[in-house]
Chains A and B, each alone.
Chain A
Amino acid sequence: MINLTIDGKSIEVAEGTTVLEAAKQLGIKIPTLCHDDRLKPFGACRLCIVEIAGMPKPVTSCTTPATAGMSVQTQSARLYRLRKTTVELLLSDHPNDCMTCIGTGECVLQELAYQYGIRENRFAGAMREHKRVDHNPFITRDQNKCVMCGLCVRVCDEVQGIGAIGYAERGFEAKVIPPFGHDLDCVFCGQCISVCPTGALSGSIWSGKPRMEGVKFTDTTCTYCGCGCNITLRSHGDQVIRVESKSDNHNRGWLCVKGRFGFDFINSTDRLTTPLIRREKGGHFEKATWDEALDHIAKKFNEIKEKNGPDALAGLSSARCTNEENYLFQKLFRAGIGTNNVDHCARY
């Protein structure tokens, strides 16, 4: 264990802990833009700089490991000035369109601009002019809003293992793009969207839907597979408008393309709300009650079993059911009907 002091408060942390993590343990908030606890430190945004006794220049707390006896200062006039300049520089190359931006209300840059009270910008100058090139149905990129924090690149590489995007160009023109600037061609998990601190990356299906006003957040579980990822539904009225996941749950906030984007079935007009029975050969499906449907199934099953034996029947269940439901389903087939012909898409 290592002892150090941060803003005069002492703390003991495990070896390998960064100064930023140690400060967090003390409840000291240091501004960050390119940091995510779940990803490797990057040190690009320069907002988490702190002063450490004995070091000539401020260092980034996200990359600096705590060492014994270290004395850290997280707030000072000098640090304030440097952080403010950094935010101001970012804003000098950022479209000032928070009114219509999809990221409003959740944008880290917007919050920083507010905290540092930046209205006039000393550094107003040329701005990047990227064209939008996306033709996929999931991810919308607005690169003029990109702050080059590298979170999307890192999550794609470190978590998803895809590496669909990387950096290109140098200097002011540096940008994050898929190889050769082609259209995005990946698994569309949307992990990158979930870590983007601004409105540079967003879900295409969120566009035009409510952002914060009147939006209800409901924590629930994704039903797509046995992983059971924790998700939070954003709904407005009776419509689910977005699916996201909090980073402090068992799936650490990561979702797949289905969990994140595949929710249009919820309000789909094609969705079945009652059982349907085809009462005679060649006839149409007709609405039925559950009792009626289940009686019908039981009657037919019994007929088949009597005529051809239990192995003439097979059951296919779904990974979208809960564990308990799937357990009962196989019980029904093995013990109730008497066959081992039972399976589902994630296997028993």
Chain B
Amino acid sequence: MSSEIIVNVCMGTGGIAAGGDLVMEEFTKQFEAAGIENATVKEKCKLHKVGCRGFCARDVLVDVNVDGAVSTYQYIQPEMVSRLIQDHVVGGRPVKEWLVGDDYHTFHDNQTKIVLGDLGKINPESINDYLGVDGYKAAEKALTTMTPAEVIATVKESGLRGRGGGGFPTGLKWSFCAANKSDQYYIICNADEGDPGAFMDRSVVEGNPHAVIEGMIIGAYAIGASIGYVYIRAEYPLAVDRLHMALKAAKEHGYLGEKLFGTDFNFKIKVKLGAGAFVCGEETALIASIEGERGMPRAKPPFPANKGLWGKPTIINNVETFANLPHILNKGAAWYASIGSEKSKGTKVIALTGKIRNTGLIEIPMGMPLKDIIFNIGGGIEGNRLFKAVQTGGPSGGCIPQQHIDLPVDYEGLASVGSMMGSGGMVVLDETDCMVNISKFFLEFTQSESCGKCVPCRIGTKRLLEILTRITEGEGKEGDIELLQELAEDVRDSSLCGLGMSAPNPVLSTIKYFRHEYEAHIKNKKCPAKVCNKLLTFFIREDMCVGCGMCLRACPVNAISGEKKMPHKVDNNLCIQCGSCFDACKFSAVLKE
């Protein structure tokens, strides 16, 4: 047997959580075992750990590549490894029933991968793998053949905009920074990803850390920064480990340190771990945190590009922004600008979650219609239920209803309907989601993550949350919708930083598109989606109930009665609408209305 065989095991956080490390271990063990050696496969068989390829729901994903013919397996567990080796690696016959289905290919084929292009293909812990995909060529090109001004001009031409949420043109921001006279400039990579459900930056750092480092080198050269920081969440241990590994390797290879690529340019990168405050993703709070202060935002102007870290001109870009740069430098601004929509160029990485079949990390060209994302890539709504809305931009974004399903997903498109791109979170909601409750969920998050510095955010979000809570608990009053709107507008218009300015978005957008749901809660004391327990009546269908007693035991207030093997009953005078019986029943006999 003389084939060249490569086995890739997904070892992102998602892959590892699904057992990727155990699968990897099993492969290693079995490759060591006699069978493989006798077949003389060993020296030609490479086992790789690779980063996240986006479809974490199918983990552990394993590629078996025989002479370039790739078969991808899903849901692989350690006990399945021996058969994979026997049948496929040794026998040359793929195990058909474990292969990914058509939906896996639909998921991937409708994407345009630039930032995620090498994720899932290269070993993030090996600089040689990165060098094998033209790694550090872009940095070399920039430093040895271009002036800083030319690099900035290229980035401007490419149309790249900040991927952290703001969408500010990256090249323009750099030019503002470079225009300052200073003895020191700083460049910071913002990897303090904090939106609930978002894992774009984590996956990129875990799956291709060198691309981020290379992007930072290019940016540092453009603005003249000799020191860079990566501000990364301490809750991302794997990303932090791989980042450290990559920094060490880059330094050893001379891509970081002094006289890079034989030029006079020096650049080093320090890592600063964030302690988990959401607000530290805001650039001025992030700067305060690096300086050793409490992560509290500062008023702008002055902008960090003029007066940032330690009062020096500073550029802060997001992980994804940096990861785009090597590709722009390698393939040219015109190539990049040819992808995307009129004002939003390139691609966007999106964390697609919620009530959708294919959840995961995707990368789409800017301007792709919402429905293509949800129904092609995402495979439509789970369980054939009705699509209701999609929440974009994390807790700062808004909910976009069915009527805007053709909306192009780019900065302008999302903003035009009262939402935002944010860092790229997309939560799909179906008919079983209550919009008032969704709004409450995001407010709970922003309120508890407010730094407390400015009044509208500290107290305003608390009051918004209180009003939403009372509506979902059936205590809503006439005028509450108007009060919510007024307060939400005031919090949006007078808060200090992006957190407070955008925290009311979920409230405002749900009132705009789903006002009838608010009204049903307040006026009719009903939750149309049957989510808000306090507004529901629980009862047991006699024809479905088998009298197993599960609900009776689950009820904390003894509101359920009934003989064994006989239909049970709910006493609604005692019921506190906690929903425990509904969750406990295995026969769908408990109904709520």
Contacts and interface: CB of A to CB of B under 8 A. Distances in A.
B450 A171 contact: yes
A92 B490 CA distance: 15
Contact of B496 (A44, A90, A92): A44
A265 to B, nearest CB: 41
Contacts of B88: none
B294 interface: yes
A93 B296 CA distance: 21
Interface string B446-469: 011111111110111111001000
Nearest to A41: B299
Contacts of B294: 166-167
B341 interface: no
Given A126-B462, A170-B449, A81 B455 contact: no
Given A60-B299, A82-B494, A170-B452, A123 B487 contact: yes
Contacts of A58: 493-494
Contacts of A46: 454-456, 494-496
Contacts of B449: 170-171
B483 interface: yes
Interface string A204-225: 0000000000000000000000
A59 B301 CA distance: 9
Nearest to B453: A44
B525 interface: no
A191 B298 CA distance: 24
A174 B458 contact: yes
A170 B298 CA distance: 16
Nearest to A78: B493
Nearest to B446: A171
Interface in B268-320: 277, 279, 294, 296, 298-299, 301-302
A170 B277 contact: yes
Contact of B455 (A45, A122, A169): A45
A89 interface: yes
Interface string A61-73: 0011100000000
Interface in B479-513: 483, 486-487, 490, 493-496, 501
- Overall SS of chain B's interface: helix
A115 B373 CA distance: 53
B299 A171 contact: no
A92 B453 contact: no
A243 interface: no
Interface centre among A57, A82, A93, A171 (most CB of B within 10 A): A171
A95 to B, nearest CB: 14
Interface string A272-303: 00000000000000000000000000000000
Contact of B490 (A85, A125, A167, A171): A85
A148 B501 CA distance: 19
Contacts of A86: 455-456, 490, 494
Nearest to A49: B494
Interface string A153-185: 000000000000011011111110000000000
A259 interface: no
Interface string A330-347: 000000000000000000
A103 interface: no
A123 B484 CA distance: 10
B299 A63 contact: yes
A82 B490 contact: yes
Contact of A172 (B302, B462, B495): B462
Contacts of B486: 85
A171 B447 contact: yes
Given A58-B494, A64-B301, A174-B451, A167 B296 contact: yes
B452 A89 contact: no
B197 to A, nearest CB: 20
A172 B458 contact: yes
A93 B455 CA distance: 11
A125 B466 contact: yes
Contacts of A147: 455
A78 B492 CA distance: 13
Interface centre among B279, B454, B494 (most CB of A within 10 A): B494
Minimum-distance CB pairs A-B, first 9: A174-B452, A63-B299, A43-B299, A89-B459, A85-B490, A172-B462, A123-B463, A125-B466, A171-B450
11 contacts: A46-B496, A65-B301, A81-B490, A85-B487, A89-B459, A89-B463, A92-B459, A170-B450, A171-B458, A174-B452, A174-B453
Interface of A: 41-46, 49, 57-60, 63-65, 78, 81-82, 85-86, 89-90, 92-93, 122-123, 125-126, 147-148, 150, 166-167, 169-175
